[in-house]
């Protein structure tokens, strides 16, 4: 593959010709009065007449010829907008951008094209396409359901054609809607277009088209704006030192030396760090994300020896995007070498930032206009800048020299070494378990009436001694045996018989690193079941603590009726064995989580039995959630259900360690039937 100094474009020859030259070939000028009236109304007929179709099919556009024919219109529009001041533009068109819910972004884009700064124009165009997509989705939802995720599908929808007209949507498709078109949104957001490669006239044209769409919407037909996506994961992303002036200076130094950077893209990098300095955090991230993709694409093509994947794909080939670069295998089923090159921690950081469904998926949400650019959080920008610094360093020739010279770089890189995924289902399960431990520990703080006020609670005596003694010891013994192959420290059963010690052990175990990259389907299925179990445990814990607090206050106020007092006493009598039970279940889930990778080694019959066991455990916790709810308060029933269920857990592990055979499947399946009654 060519070195960064030899790369003059990241666009293929066909795409480069379409984007950079074809629309400029026709030197004729279009009469402005045919495009815009004196009152600022867009003359759509003059614009749409330049569309060229194939075989007279309305939807089958000849994109290249349409770009060539629309070129003079774009040039005229660009000259027209350049002649306006910001005030004139705002007075004339500001009201027609209100439908987008982001009129200020379009004013920014106007000011950008007047500045003649190529990087600023490209940034404005990325923001414009994101906001336009979101606004068009809002219009779509006025008459349709389930807004398409991809912009090209949205532009091709019959719903938008119904509102704006098919020819109007076809014009937008020429600029944004297909790999065969100019495809401005994708080549910018995926990091293919250098700052100077997008003619500014296309930004001007999309500005006018957006205003024209606003003119087509009736004032009483304005779309309802969907709420923005909220980045609620910021606290979980605090893994790097704060980004300060020293960090930005370091980053600026690295971009001139790191092999990660493609030289023609340097202006984006410089502007991104300048934006961070100026607290323009959304701009910083919008500029950086495509460059992270470009840099990773460069390394991806080198380590996998596929230089042809570096350039923009043609309409018959997929782009090489984050999804493919972070995958385990290449399209030909060869193993992707990028994960080995970067290492698991950095791969997990990238998956957490970009791909996991419960993570921020920052590029998707930004590029589809789902985030409020006016309230973009500094914490997210800081995290993206830190990730950029790590990647720049990873592709730096003489790492040892620079790491010795810069203490901040050492700190930021060392932060990645022990990184474990926060947003993979395994990472989410670990967090749920931590919450569960915290919730169960609060049971010690449950208020109770004084001993003199309360008779002995139900379900005490020999039966309670049985569950808290012999059965607990047997269950803990099985769990320690299950834990031993995957845990280095020596385990003493007698030290983990109490609920307090079990919860303490869970906390220690959750500090263990668990690989999350490329989990087999069966592993994800097990994790999903375990997460449901823990969710029910959390709910039961909340029912017990909140219910006990409420009843205690009512007890003090003497507002409980006779039956309610008896039910309250049954609750108090149930707390000890429930606490013991749910501490054991929390430990059980944690132990099974640490053994999760063994699932891929099981044969299908054993996997089936194992899944049946987990489903039965889930059924028990679901029933417990119902019985402990304020509406039910069935405390006697919880005892009976718990006693049977714990015996079934013991039975399962006994058979598991003694070798499960297919003829033992039915007795184990009966666990679910028992708990469901």
pLDDT at 665 exceeding the cut of 60: no
Give the pLDDT score at 670.
46
CB 356 within 8 A of CB 429: no
**Could you tell me which residues come within 8 angstroms of residue 277 by beta carbon, excluding any fewer than 6 positions away?**
245, 248
Give the pLDDT score at 451.
61
- Residue 350's alpha-carbon distances to 317, 341, 424, 454, in angstroms, are 24, 14, 11, 57
pLDDT at 163 exceeding the cut of 90: yes
CA pair distance 480, 651, nearest whole angstrom: 16
> Which stretch of 113-122, 216-225, 231-240, 449-458 has the lowest confidence by average pLDDT?
449-458
Give the pLDDT score at 404.
56
pLDDT above 70 covers a percentage of the chain that reads 91
pLDDT at 398 exceeding the cut of 80: no
Nearest 10 degrees: Cα torsion 508, 511, 514, 515: -170
CA pair distance 506, 587, nearest whole angstrom: 6
Domain ranges of the chain: 13-221, 234-414, 425-676
CA pair distance 514, 510, nearest whole angstrom: 9
Give the 3-state secondary structure of 50-69: CCCECCCCCCCECHHHHHHH
Give the pLDDT score at 218.
73
Give the pLDDT score at 456.
47
DSSP string, 462-476: HHHHHIIIIIHHHHH
Give the pLDDT score at 396.
78
CA pair distance 444, 390, nearest whole angstrom: 44
Identify how many contiguous H helices and E strands the chain contains and give both numbers: 30, 0
| CB atoms near residue 274 (< 10 Å) | 16
Mean pLDDT of 122-145: 96
Span between the terminal Cα atoms of the chain, in Å: 66
> Which stretch of 2-6, 64-68, 507-511, 584-588 has the lowest confidence by average pLDDT?
2-6
pLDDT at 668 exceeding the cut of 80: no
| CB atoms near residue 677 (< 10 Å) | 7
Per residue in 563-595, pLDDT (tens digit) is 888 889 989 988 988 999 999 999 999 999 999
Q: Which helix (H) or strand (E) holds 553?
A: helix 521-556
pLDDT at 471 exceeding the cut of 60: yes
- Residue 315's alpha-carbon distances to 137, 179, 192, 539, 648, in angstroms, are 24, 5, 15, 50, 58
**pTM assigned to the model:** 0.90
Give the pLDDT score at 667.
45
Mean pLDDT of 358-375: 96
Mean pLDDT of 244-270: 94
CA pair distance 453, 33, nearest whole angstrom: 91
Give the pLDDT score at 495.
85
CA pair distance 445, 366, nearest whole angstrom: 44
Give the pLDDT score at 466.
45
Give the 3-state secondary structure of 217-274: CCHHHCCCCCCCCCCCCHHHHCCCCCCCHHHHHHHHHHHCCCCCCCHHHHHHHHHHHH
pLDDT at 675 exceeding the cut of 90: no
Per residue in 519-545, pLDDT (tens digit) is 999 999 999 999 999 999 999 999 999
Q: Which of 305, 551, 566, 333 is nearest to 446 (CA)?
A: 551
pLDDT at 382 exceeding the cut of 50: yes
Mean pLDDT of 51-64: 80
pLDDT at 397 exceeding the cut of 70: no
């Amino acid at each position: 593959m060519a070195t960064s100094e030899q790369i003059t474009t990241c666009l293929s020859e066909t795409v480069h010709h379409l984007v950079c030259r074809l629309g400029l070939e026709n030197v004729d000028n279009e009469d402005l009065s045919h495009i815009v009236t004196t009152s600022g109304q867009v003359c759509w007929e003059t614009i749409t007449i330049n569309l060229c179709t194939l075989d007279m099919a309305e939807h089958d556009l000849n994109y290249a010829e349409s770009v060539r024919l629309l070129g003079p219109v774009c040039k005229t529009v660009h000259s027209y907008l350049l002649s306006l001041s910001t005030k004139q533009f705002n007075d004339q068109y500001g009201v027609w951008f209100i439908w987008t819910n982001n009129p200020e972004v379009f004013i920014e884009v106007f000011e950008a094209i007047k500045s003649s700064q190529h990087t600023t124009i490209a940034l404005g165009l990325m923001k414009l396409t994101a906001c336009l997509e979101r606004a068009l989705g809002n219009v779509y939802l006025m008459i349709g359901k389930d807004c398409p995720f991809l912009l090209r599908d949205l532009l091709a929808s019959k719903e938008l054609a119904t509102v704006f007209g098919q020819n109007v949507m076809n014009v937008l498709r020429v600029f944004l809607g297909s790999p065969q078109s100019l495809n401005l949104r994708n080549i910018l957001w995926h990091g293919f277009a250098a700052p100077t490669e997008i003619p500014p006239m296309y930004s001007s044209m999309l500005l006018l088209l957006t205003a024209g769409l606003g003119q087509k919407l009736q004032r009483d037909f304005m779309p309802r704006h969907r709420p923005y996506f909220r980045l609620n994961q910021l606290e979980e992303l605090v893994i790097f030192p704060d980004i300060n002036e020293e960090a930005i200076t370091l980053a600026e130094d690295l971009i001139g030396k790191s092999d990660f950077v493609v030289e023609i893209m340097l202006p984006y990098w410089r502007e991104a760090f300048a934006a961070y300095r100026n607290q323009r955090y959304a701009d910083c991230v919008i500029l950086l994300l495509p460059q992270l993709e470009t840099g990773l694409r460069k390394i991806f093509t080198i380590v996998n020896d596929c230089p042809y994947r570096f350039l923009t794909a043609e309409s018959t080939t997929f782009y090489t995007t984050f999804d493919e670069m972070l995958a385990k295998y290449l399209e030909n089923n060869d193993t992707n070498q990028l994960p080995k090159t970067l290492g698991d921690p950095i791969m997990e950081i990238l998956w957490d930032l970009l791909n996991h469904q419960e993570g921020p998926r920052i590029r998707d949400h930004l590029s589809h206009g789902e985030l409020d650019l006016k309230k973009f959080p500094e914490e997210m920008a800081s995290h993206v800048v830190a990730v950029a610094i790590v990647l720049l360093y990873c592709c730096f020739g003489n790492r040892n020299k620079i790491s010795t010279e810069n203490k901040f770089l050492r700190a930021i890189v060392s932060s990645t070494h022990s990184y474990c995924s926060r947003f993979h289902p395994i990472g989410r399960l670990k967090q749920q378990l931590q919450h569960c431990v915290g919730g169960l520990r609060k049971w010690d703080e449950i208020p109770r009436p004084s001993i003199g006020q309360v008779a002995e609670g139900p379900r005490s005596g020999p039966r309670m001694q049985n569950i808290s003694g012999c059965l607990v010891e047997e269950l803990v013994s099985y769990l320690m045996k299950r834990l031993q192959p995957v845990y280095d420290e020596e385990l003493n059963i007698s030290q983990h018989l109490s609920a307090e010690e079990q919860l303490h052990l869970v906390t220690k175990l959750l500090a263990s690193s668990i690989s999350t990259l490329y989990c087999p389907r069966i592993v994800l299925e097990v994790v999903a079941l375990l997460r449901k179990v823990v969710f029910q445990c959390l709910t039961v814990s909340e029912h017990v603590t909140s219910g006990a607090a409420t009843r205690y206050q009512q007890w003090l106020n003497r507002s409980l009726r006779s039956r309610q007092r008896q039910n309250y006493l049954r609750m108090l009598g149930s707390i000890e064995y429930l606490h013991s039970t749910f501490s054991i279940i929390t430990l059980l889930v944690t132990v099974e989580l640490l053994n999760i990778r063994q699932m891929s080694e099981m044969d299908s019959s054993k996997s089936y039995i194992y899944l049946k066991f987990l489903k039965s455990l889930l059924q028990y916790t679901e029933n417990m959630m119902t019985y402990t709810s304020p509406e039910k308060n069935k405390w006697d029933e919880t005892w009976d259900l718990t006693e049977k269920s714990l015996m079934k857990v013991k039975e399962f592990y006994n058979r598991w360690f003694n070798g499960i055979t297919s003829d033992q499947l039915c007795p184990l399946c009966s666990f679910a039937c028992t708990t469901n009654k």
